[in-house]
Amino acid sequence: MNLSPKTIQIYLPGGDPRGIRMAEITTRIMRLIEVPRSLLPAFLQMPESDQVAVYFLVSVSEDGAECRVYVGQSSDLRTRLTEHNKNKSFWQRALVMVSRTHNLTQTHALFLEWHSLQTIRQTGRFSDENGNRGSRPHTPAPMEADCLEMFDTSRTLLATLGFPLFDPVAHDPNANQPPEIFVCEASGTQGRGQYTEEGFVVLQGSVGRLQSVPSLQGTSDDSFRQRLLAQGVMRAEGHTVVFQRDHLFRSPSMAALALLGRTANGWLEWKSPAGRTLDDLKRQAN
């Protein structure tokens, strides 16, 4: 991902920041349009809906524990999105990528659809609703290079509007500096995690308690832990749970609760390998 400085323009065609939003990097040709499902009829009246497009239908649960996406492409976007509105119940918003210069072809779109889906599956932040694995479409090398530049633009715009579909939740271990790891070993747990810009990530392989403490059972916090099990984020192994993938929590305390099976102050439970708390290193140090 290119992390050089960028200027991004966001246009509100209806004037409402909660409505349709159109984002673009001012020096590139791709435009991302975020469409709340309730405003789909309004978008289908816009000229942008009459273009070749790659689109993402997304849903994020209120607690952030379940993120789902369907990836598609079409040269008949109005018909396709109308069908999805009738037949797919899960999604809340459509994210539509089009070309500002109208030069996105079906060949571009097929490659971008395939590459987007593979990246989503590799990063594991969103579970996809596409079902089949799909095969790599034949794309001439010069066109593939253009597609990868379009994809990089899409990655930036999606993340800017709050949908980092292509970005892993944990920091890249191959970055210039090794990631800072925190551990949670209270109550017999063996948790490892990272404090990130978005919250706190519990890393794959972390081990927690299976049984919630009696005071937690029957509460919304216990239901939250049960959803993590049902969604395959955690798997029961004997008297423990094991994280099957990196998982982002909105706060260190929710991450600690998921591991410990009890309410916890994550700022104090998560510690550096040297024993310093997350609070000491990240809040008190400022």
DSSP 13-41: TTS-TTS-EEEEETTSSEEEEEEEGGGHH
Measured CA to CA in angstroms, residue 90 lies from 67, 85, 87, 96, 183 at distances of 10, 10, 10, 17, 35
What is the reported pLDDT for 2?
Answer: 60
Measured CA to CA in angstroms, residue 17 lies from 13, 14, 274 at distances of 9, 8, 45
Mean pLDDT by 10 residues, the chain (286 residues): 83 96 95 97 96 96 82 96 96 97 94 96 91 84 95 96 92 71 92 94 96 94 93 93 93 96 96 95 80
Please give the span between the terminal C-alpha atoms of the chain, in angstroms, as a whole number. Answer: 29
Q: What backbone torsions phi and psi does residue 72 show, to the nearest 5 degrees?
A: -150, 170
Length of the chain: 286
> Residue 64: beta bridge partners?
none
What does the DSSP 8-state code read for residue 68?
Answer: E
Q: Which residue has the tokens 């590139």?
A: 28
User: Which SS3 state, helix, strand or coil, does residue 193 take?
Assistant: strand
Q: Which residues contact 66 (CB under 8 A, 6 or more apart)?
A: 59, 60, 127, 227, 231
What is the reported pLDDT for 179?
Answer: 83
Pairing of strands 30-36, 67-74: unpaired
What is the reported pLDDT for 277?
Answer: 96
What is the reported pLDDT for 173?
Answer: 58
CA distance 80 to 158: 21
For the chain, the domains span 8-160, 182-282
Q: What backbone torsions phi and psi does residue 271 show, to the nearest 5 degrees?
A: -135, 155
Measured CA to CA in angstroms, residue 55 lies from 66, 163, 262 at distances of 20, 13, 40
What is the reported pLDDT for 39?
Answer: 97
Cross-sheet strand order for the sheet of 127-128: 8-11, 21-25, 30-36, 93-99, 53-60, 67-74, 127-128
Q: Compute and round to an integer the Cα radius of gyration of the chain.
A: 21
Nearest to 194 by CA among 178, 171, 212, 167: 171
166, 116 contact by CB (below 8 A):
yes
